[in-house]
Amino acid sequence: MSSHKIYRVSDFAIVGDYTLRIRFDDATEQVIDFSPVLYGPIFGPLRDPAIFNQVRLVEYAGCLEWPTGADFDPETLHDWPQAKDEIIQRRQVWALTEA
């Protein structure tokens, strides 16, 4: 049986426009620029910096959430370097429909 690690966000900081430094419960961190994925009905409103900057840590779930209901699985955030290309590609479909 293979084990599957469940990661939790333990802390974060806004470090730039649409960019967060996210710390995880395994003492690792990612700095993520979310601007390429802010499209569609849930994530599109986050292009407004005032809304993006309302991100909060949902401590009981170990995830980040915005007032629009947008969130990302902590494992996706933890493994962002491996996941980002696919996520950006999927979000770009929304970008084309919003243009």
What is the bridge-based pairing of β-strands 9-16 and 63-65?
unpaired
Q: Output the CA–CA distances (angstroms, integers) from residue 24 to 35, 88, 97, 99, in the order listed.
A: 21, 22, 34, 35
Cα 17 to chain centroid, rounded: 13
The residue ranges of every structural domain in the chain are 9-98
Q: How far apart are CA 86 and CA 40, in angstroms?
A: 15
Q: Are 54 and 66 in contact (CB under 8 A)?
A: yes
Confidence of residue 3 (pLDDT cuts 50, 70, 90): low
Q: Which option is the CATH number for 9-98: 3.20.20.70, 3.40.50.300, 3.30.2020.10, 3.20.20.100?
A: 3.30.2020.10
Q: What is the pLDDT of residue 99?
A: 57
pTM of the model: 0.87
Contact 29, 22 (CB under 8 A): yes
Tokens of 3: 């084990």
Residue range 32-88, pLDDT digits in tens: 999 999 988 889 999 999 999 999 999 999 999 999 999 999 999 999 999 999 988
